[in-house]
Structure 1
């Protein structure tokens, strides 16, 4: 059974962030808060950890995994960002959106979607951003919920439901509305899923 570690949602304690990152560096899978729902995640560049994440969540291997970058500048390492797409990203990130873009060669094939695209997030959440900055590379982001079920909002319940998680960072109750998914990979703006992020100004 993993550890439930309370963390300050606005000013996350560096030693607690370091503890979570040490688990990620060793190939572990953790639960953590975002600006929408709680996520399950691991190091983007650890293939075995990603396989473990699929097993923990009970996901089919054809289900896509998004990942989190610390800022706009980092996105360009992992995705092709044309001028029009950059203007959209700059306007709506950090925020409750997942943007689908063409992947660069930096992205492991295991997380590339059809047509070699990727889903990338920059959440407006101090804990999540502290994690990716301390790790120094992106972390996978998938909703903390069994397939087909609503997002779980209670960190304690997440720990109980997914006992193979090594750590759950408890920043209080999470949201129950997932991200809005926006596809920018073909040059236009397509809403794939309406969620927490408003779409009025996107379309």
Structure 2
């Protein structure tokens, strides 16, 4: 289904409905502050595997990300951060960044690649953050990527729905998306290294 939710003030009934579907194993396409994302409840292994099949990815090799509600969620899934890393994350989040951090044992085994790291996102978007808050744990995040460079697929939710309606359970129409992905910052070695420059300009 295609579900319209307004990002300025998401309807709580819609948020609760989508959350209940996520708990049942739904795969959902949702807006962020960058490109539209495909995701599910990180604790539902069947849903995670559906996302992996849809994107044709190997869960053990890919860097998949979690969307968290705020920084208080992060310590549940990552090893202790340096003061410098925490301060920079606090200054830049919510925002269009993916921070690669060392994962702890709470991260579902499905996600642990050979480096035992996890990407953390806190997008500046009320819809997806409200979903995470209502769900009570992070949502898997992987971007909607075009097979054919037609940019509209990643920006227009109605075109996204046309393309993915047979593969996902809900497409959330939160308005036009962006076609620039997040900036990826590696924090696993204590220093910060920008792996991919995307929409966000990191403030040190």
For the aligned pair, the TM-score class normalised by the smaller chain equals: over 0.9
Displacement, 1:147?
Answer: 6.1
Q: After the TM superposition, which residues 99-178 of structure 1 pair with which residues of structure 2 at under 5 Å, given as runs? A: 99-146=99-146, 152-162=154-164, 163-178=166-181
What is the root-mean-square deviation of aligned Cα atoms in Å? 1.6
Which residue does the alignment assign to 1:69?
68
Structure 1 residues 113 and 148: CA distance shift in structure 2, 3 A: farther
Q: The residue matched to 2:185 in structure 1 has which SS? A: strand
Residues 93-120 of structure 1: per-residue CA shift (max 9 Å, x gap): 1110000000011101221233211000
Q: Deviations over 1:126-168 (max 9, x none)?
A: 1011000010000001101246856711111212222211001
Runs of 4+ in 1 over 4 A off after TM superposition: 146-151
3-state DSSP of counterpart to 2:76: helix
Structure 1 residue corresponding to 2:46, chosen from 20, 36, 48: 48
Structure 1 regions of 5+ residues with no counterpart?
A: none
Mapped to 1, the partners of 2:179 and 2:146 lie a distance apart of 14
Instruction: Report the equivalent of 1:183.
Output: 186
> Secondary structure of the equivalent of 1:98?
strand
Alpha-carbon shift at residue 21 of structure 1 (Å): 0.8
- Unaligned stretches of 5+ in structure 2? none
Deviation at 1:125, TM superposition (A): 0.7
Measure the CA separation in 2 of the matches of 1:108 and 1:142.
16
- Return 77-86 or 98-107, whichever deviates more: 77-86
Give the deviation of 1:63 after TM superposition.
Answer: 2.2
Partner of 1:15: 13
Please report the TM-score for the alignment, with normalisation by the length of structure 2: 0.92
SS at match of 1:142: strand
How high is the TM-score relative to the length of structure 1?
0.92
Aligned residues between the structures:
199
Give, in angstroms, the shift of residue 88 of structure 1. 1.2
Structure 1 residues 69 and 147, CA gap change in structure 2 (3 angstroms): farther
